[in-house]
């Protein structure tokens, strides 16, 4: 049952929500805990404040009409839903879910569904805004959206996870669709979960609608190359960045924090083209081999054991140490807030390529810049996933599917064009790559709004 739909307009003021405890049904303020990787705790900061700061940074460069910029400070629509689920032991638990549609100036909303115990409305708002910027940077005809449920999916059985997903989709059914808002996987969700999303939506519609969601299994209309897309996009961005600073991928020393879908694929693909992946990590710790890890062997061990700890051919270090290794490229692909003011001065990498969303705090950004570390921001670096999600959506709409080689080539073209646009903006405006990425995104969104005008 939908408890609240806060806004359907272009402007809304929202107070910080009370987040329901799913254990006892009481309401309380939930602190944002640290992701348990051994890194410093994330700041107790509203992530949407970062979005507004980013807009201010872009505005300082672009100097747009303040009235034109004002709508981008507010999500178009925010929904909070209650999700009652019958648990395996027979009792009922009520979870809280969210779906935010941020901007549709350039097309329908696009953004993942996140299952994590720390999900709240402010985080989802920020993630939806970043999706709007990301889609504009890679120049695909989508706006930004995001969804999530405050739940630890690792504590649910498969049946509980399926019931949770289907009830969540039922609650947001009228808010999503292939021409409205297209979900995708995110932290804590998977192609299997996306299959349940598609099936639930299709059953309620009365016909099969594969284009309602991307990141599906290939047998249900998914795209070849989608699983590896974010990692492959990181490969292309890393290659282009190193070229700009006079280096090459072959022989470059790379440390990858995080070994989920993004980190593991990025590390494996970088290894395959000759980069020396000297460290990788997951929640159990980090592996370090100064001469380079045998990534196929590491990946095989991880798939068999579900963690990296105990891998025999590397030293076990902690995640803090991984971040401080003397490498050419540091690729944080875990959770947000990993590079902070407390550790940024010790980062020895020449280049940071952000595989995760928001892994570098604003104050850490300033410290890295002072130390000459070039940072390629998340909204450019990890956009490969949404690019291939767009390709999947196109293929679903046409009912015609491409070979994986075609998908990968189109992905490379899109990522290189996006990188070139951001690099050119950085040179033209004399700003860092993060600010340049914001200016490219905001400028494209404002141009779409200008051309469309204001419906009244």
Give the residues of the chain that fall short of pLDDT 50.
1-43
Domain interval for residue 108: 2-220
Active-site residue numbers? 146
> Which tokens is 217 given?
């299994």
Q: How many residues does the chain have?
A: 456
Same domain, 214 and 343: no
Burial class (CB in 10 A: 0-12, 13-18, 19+), 374: middle
Say which residue the tokens 């809280």 belong to: 96
What tokens does 342 get? Answer: 């407390």
pLDDT at 430: 96
Q: Are residues 271 and 366 in the same domain?
A: yes
> Looking at residue 336, what is its pLDDT?
82
Number of domains making up the chain: 2
Tell me how many degrees the CA angle 443-236-345 measures, rounded to the nearest 5: 80
Separation between Cα atoms, residue 209 and residue 213, nearest integer Å: 9
The DSSP 8-state label assigned to residue 212 in this structure reads G
Q: Ramachandran region of residue 226, left (φ > 0), alpha (ψ -120 to 50) or beta?
A: alpha
- Note whether 49 and 145 are same-domain residues: yes
pLDDT of residue 20: 30
Alpha carbon distance 88, 345 (integer Å): 49
> What's the pLDDT at 181?
98
What's residue 21's pLDDT? Answer: 29
Q: What is the CATH number of the domain that holds 278?
A: 3.40.50.720
What's the confidence (pLDDT) of residue 410? 98
Whether residues 342 and 239 fall in one domain? yes
Question: Is 396 within a domain?
Answer: no
Predicted confidence at residue 44, as pLDDT, reads 58
Closest residue by Cα to residue 374 from 398, 349, 396: 349
Does 62 lie in the same domain as 150?
Answer: yes
Looking at 381, 406, 421, which one is the last position of a domain? 381
């Amino acid at each position: 049952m939908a408890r609240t739909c806060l806004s359907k307009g272009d402007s809304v003021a929202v107070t910080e929500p009370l987040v329901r405890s799913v254990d006892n049904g009481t309401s309380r303020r939930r602190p944002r805990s640290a992701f348990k990787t051994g890194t410093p705790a994330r700041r107790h900061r509203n992530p949407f404040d970062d979005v507004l700061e980013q807009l201010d940074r872009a505005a300082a460069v672009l100097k747009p009409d303040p009235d034109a910029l004002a709508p981008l400070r507010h999500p178009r629509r925010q929904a909070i839903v209650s999700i009652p689920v019958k648990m395996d032991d027979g009792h009922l638990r009520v979870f809280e879910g969210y779906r935010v549609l941020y901007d549709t100036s350039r097309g329908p909303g696009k953004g993942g569904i996140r299952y994590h115990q720390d999900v709240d409305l402010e985080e989802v708002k920020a993630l939806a805004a970043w999706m709007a910027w990301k889609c504009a940077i890679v120049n695909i005809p989508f706006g930004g959206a995001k969804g999530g449920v405050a739940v630890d999916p690792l504590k649910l059985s498969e049946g509980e996870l399926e019931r949770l997903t289907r009830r969540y989709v039922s609650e947001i059914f009228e808010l999503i669709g292939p021409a409205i808002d297209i979900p995708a996987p995110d932290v804590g969700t998977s192609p299997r979960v996306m299959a349940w999303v598609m099936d639930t939506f299709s059953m309620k519609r009365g016909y099969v609608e594969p284009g309602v969601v991307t990141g599906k299994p290939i047998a249900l209309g998914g795209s070849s190359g989608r699983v590896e897309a974010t990692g492959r996009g990181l490969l292309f961005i890393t290659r282009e960045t190193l070229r700009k600073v006079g280096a090459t991928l072959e022989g470059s020393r790379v440390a990858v924090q995080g070994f989920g879908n993004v980190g593991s694929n990025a590390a494996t693909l970088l290894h395959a083209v000759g980069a020396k992946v000297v460290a990788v990590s997951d929640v159990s710790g980090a592996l370090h081999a100064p001469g380079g890890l045998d990534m196929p062997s590491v990946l095989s061990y991880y798939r068999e054991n579900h963690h990296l700890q105990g891998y025999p051919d590397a030293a076990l270090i902690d995640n803090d140490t991984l971040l401080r290794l003397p490498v050419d490229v540091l690729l944080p692909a875990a959770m947000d807030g990993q590079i902070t003011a407390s550790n940024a001065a010790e980062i020895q990498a020449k280049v940071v390529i952000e595989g995760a969303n928001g892994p570098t705090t604003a104050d850490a950004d300033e410290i890295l810049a002072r130390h000459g570390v070039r940072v390629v921001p998340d909204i450019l670096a990890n956009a490969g996933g949404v690019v291939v999600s767009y390709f999947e959506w196109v293929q679903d709409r046409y009912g015609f599917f491409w070979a994986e080689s075609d998908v990968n080539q189109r992905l490379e073209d899109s990522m290189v064009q996006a990188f070139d646009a951001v690099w050119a903006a950085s040179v033209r405006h004399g700003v860092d790559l993060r600010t340049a990425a914001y200016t490219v995104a905001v400028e494209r969104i404002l141009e779409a709004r200008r051309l469309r005008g204001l419906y009244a």
